[in-house]
A and B are shown apart, each in its own frame.
Chain A
Amino acid sequence: GENVEQHPSTLSVQEGDSAVIKCTYSDSASNYFPWYKQELGKRPQLIIDIRSNVGEKKDQRIAVTLNKTAKHFSLHITETQPEDSAVYFCAASIGDKLIFGTGTRLQVFP
């Protein structure tokens, strides 16, 4: 079935440390993998995405990696800052829609 698993559900790091969030997907036809950041009471915001023809993509402190064979993709945030604290969602395309993971609550302590 259509499924995206996301781990961990909560993640606490010290400011300046790195944070890694991992997702797995079930549909081998998925070819687009976005990551969204959602602050409390706000809309989900697209922060980075990757397509299946690329193995890694980086944007300043944020990077995403994709392993198509294993159906894994990960979000890496380096030099974390308190303003990175939010819930992060991964998603995978299935046909014309996105299936979202269950979210990771990231807390960055100063």
Chain B
Amino acid sequence: NAGVMQNPRHLVRRRGQEARLRCSPVKGHSHVYWYRQLPEEGLKFMVYLQKENIIDESGMPKERFSAEFPKEGPSILRIQQVVRGDSAAYFCASSPRDSGGYEQYFGPGTRLTVT
């Protein structure tokens, strides 16, 4: 699980700016999940992606949030026109789904602070 990389680890944005969060899954994993964690709360599912496809985005806010996982490069979670309520830790996880399981291994997270 140490193989899931996220950057930046900390990101400060002013209200109205854009935030871009990057996630590189474990080598060989082609399934990426994004979660949001508010202070003292649990992990809330946002989106599940495979290479070049969004599989399930039922947890994504309808506006300002988007995600992609291109054929080459990391997965990106993009938040446009950030507001204070977007301040949270954003974790991505990757999974070797072709192993037949749902095992998800988490990255270290990006802590977004909106001032």
Contact = CB atoms under 8 A, between A and B. Distances in A.
A36 B55 CA distance: 24
Interface string B75-115: 00000000000000001000000000111111111000000
B43 A89 contact: yes
Contacts of A43: 1, 4, 91, 106-109
A101 to B, nearest CB: 6
Contact of A34 (B45, B56, B102): B102
A110 to B, nearest CB: 25
B43 A100 contact: yes
Contacts of B105: 46
Question: Interface majority SS on A: helix, strand, loop or mixed?
Answer: strand
B103 A100 contact: no
B103 A49 contact: yes
Interface string A41-63: 01111100101000000000000
A36 to B, nearest CB: 8
Contacts of B69: none
B45 A89 contact: no
Interface string B8-47: 0000000000000000000000000101000001111100
B45 A97 contact: yes
A109 interface: no
A42 B37 CA distance: 12
Interface of A: 32, 34, 36, 42-46, 49, 51, 89, 91, 93, 95-103
